Amino acid sequence: MTFISKTIKLAAAAVVASTMLTGASTAEDKLKIGFIYPSPVGDVGWAYQLDEGRKKIEAMFGDKVESVVVENVPEGPDAARIMNQMASTGADMIMIGSFGYMNDGLKLAAQKKDINFIHASGYKTAPNFGNFQTRNYESAYVAGMAAGYVTKSKTLGVVAAYAIPEVVGIINAFTLGAQQTNADVTVKVVWLNSWFNPSKAQESAKSLIAQSADVIFSLYQDTPSVVQVAEEEGVYVVNTSSDMKKYAPTKLLASMTIDWGPHFTTQVQAALDGKFEGTAYWGGMADGAVGLASMSDDLSADQKSTIEGVMAEIAAGTRHPFDGPVMAQDGSEKIASGSAIEDGALLGIDWLVTGVETQLPK
């Protein structure tokens, strides 16, 4: 230990002691849960859905829990500070809502063994650090079916952020679903190379429309910008995270929704019971974590019931969007007939299926 740190320790010791005393006196039986979101909660989108999950916790556990929210925390050197401050102000559980918080969260979890962490969309776990994701490829598959029904140009356009496996898997499932209802569709993708850029997302949608796409898939765009432009241009649109019907009242084909409620409430219950374990949760249609909302009335009753039938099969586990045979872009068989993709392979998927015209960015 160095001279500086000693001096500071001495100087701070007194104040620290005093805050610890006051901290102890205010501690109650409530489970205090901190929530950190990467973007403002707003009306729709990723942070909004996480916050809906938080509301479900409050609705279910009432005054047994107390939640604290800090929104719009950029992934970067400052996120750790907010987490740490939550930890030091008595949080018993912390939900960190973005991939980029993973390493800082893990470091903190290692220091504070009595705090339980749940982390959105990561891949690492620890005894007191679990992660959660949803099988959005399941809802993408059925959304793709809907897209296949309505497309006339047989061209679908996807506005996507980065080619991370989750996004690649969703694009593949969307394409496979569309091929179920319309054998010779092609899918074009624009890679934004940015998590947040509403203007560019909108420009991308327009460029896809100009390339004759008549269904646009707004994949992980946190703002309704793509949905809005689709309504304006008169093409169908599918989107992720939230129900965006109000932004495209006539042209929304369907919204792929996420419900964190079931997982959040189970985790909180586990924490209350002292049985929390850091697990990797991957929720799908089976447990109601993903679904399809606001299906367009332009789909016939038959088409809707076909889609709903497939959803029921996926939920029941009798059907998998990646049921073989599945061919990659280069024509090689990736999944043999009669088998489906393994979860592990899906978590690291780095190839696109045949039918997707755009290449993965190098």
In the window 278-307, what residues touch another protein (CB under 8 A)?
none
For another protein, the binding residue among 89, 250, 266, 339 (CB under 8 A) is 89
Taking contact as CB under 8 A, which single stretch among the options 59-67, 126-134, 209-217, 310-318 is the one that binds another protein? 209-217
- Verify binding: residue 8, another protein, rule CB under 8 A: yes
| Inter-residue contact 159 to 205 (CB < 8 Å) | yes
Q: Are strands 65-70 and 31-36 parallel, antiparallel or unpaired?
A: parallel
Map residues 60-79 to x or -, x wherever contact with another protein holds by CB under 8 A. --------x-x-xxxxxxx-
Contact between 126 and another protein (CB under 8 A)? no
Of 90, 100, 262, 324, which one interacts with another protein (CB under 8 A)?
Answer: 100
Q: Which residue in 86, 105, 97, 106 sits closest to 34, CA to CA? A: 86
* DSSP designation for 189: E
Closer residue to another protein (CB): 213 or 299: 213
Selected binder of another protein within 27, 55, 127, 196 (CB under 8 A): 196
CB of 100 to another protein, least distance (A): 7
Interaction between residue 210 and another protein (CB under 8 A)? yes
Q: Which of 28, 55, 59, 81 binds another protein (CB under 8 A)?
A: 81
Q: Which is nearer to another protein, 130 or 224 (CB)?
A: 224
**343 touching another protein, by CB under 8 A:** no
204 binding another protein? (CB under 8 A): yes
DSSP string, 129-155: EEEEEE-HHHHHHHHHHHHHHH-SSSE
- Using alpha carbons, list the distances in angstroms from residue 48 to 9, 137, 193, 209, 226: 41, 20, 23, 28, 17
Q: Is 125 in the site for another protein (CB under 8 A)?
A: no
List the one residue from 37, 99, 101, 174 that touches another protein (CB under 8 A): 99
Task: Tell the smallest beta-carbon distance from residue 129 to another protein (Å).
Answer: 16
Beta bridge partners of 257: 291
Q: Which residue do the tokens 């909108």 mark?
A: 202
Nearer to another protein, 8 or 336 (CB): 8
Judged by beta carbon, residue 202 or residue 267, the one nearer another protein is 202
Q: Closest approach of Cβ 308 to another protein, in Å?
A: 30
The reply on whether position 348 binds another protein by CB under 8 A is yes
Q: Is 351 in the site for another protein (CB under 8 A)?
A: no
Taking CB under 8 A as the binding criterion, the range among 173-181, 194-202, 271-279, 336-344 that sits at the site for another protein is 194-202
Assess 164 for contact with another protein (CB under 8 A): yes
Instruction: State the Cα–Cα distance between residues 202 and 199, nearest whole angstrom.
Output: 5
Using CB under 8 A, pick the residue from 27, 55, 59, 88 that binds another protein.
88
Instruction: Tell me the H-state helices in 156-293.
Output: 165-181, 198-210, 225-233, 261-272
Cβ(138)–Cβ(314) below 8 Å:
yes
Residue of 59, 103, 183, 333 interacting with another protein (CB under 8 A): 103
Give the alpha-carbon dihedral of 45, 356, 139, 297, to 10 degrees: 90
Instruction: Tell whether residue 10 is a contact of another protein (CB under 8 A).
Output: no
Among positions 31, 41, 142, 185, the unique one binding another protein when judged by CB under 8 A: 41
342 is a contact residue toward another protein (CB under 8 A): no
Q: Write down the residue that tokens 């005054």 correspond to.
A: 63
* Whether the Cβ atoms of residue 299 and residue 149 lie closer than 8 Å to each other: yes
Contact 335, 322 (CB under 8 A): yes
State the nearest-atom distance from the C-beta of 82 to another protein, in Å: 6
Edge-first strand listing for the sheet containing 155-160? 186-191, 155-160, 215-218, 236-239, 252-258, 290-293
Q: Which of residues 224-253 bind another protein (CB under 8 A)?
A: 224-225, 228, 232, 247
Residue 293 φ/ψ, nearest 5 degrees: -125, 160
What are the CB-based long-range contacts (under 8 Å, 24+) for 199-208?
A: 199/225, 201/159, 201/225, 201/226, 202/226, 202/228, 202/229, 204/159, 205/157, 205/159, 205/229, 205/230, 205/233, 206/233, 208/157, 208/158, 208/159
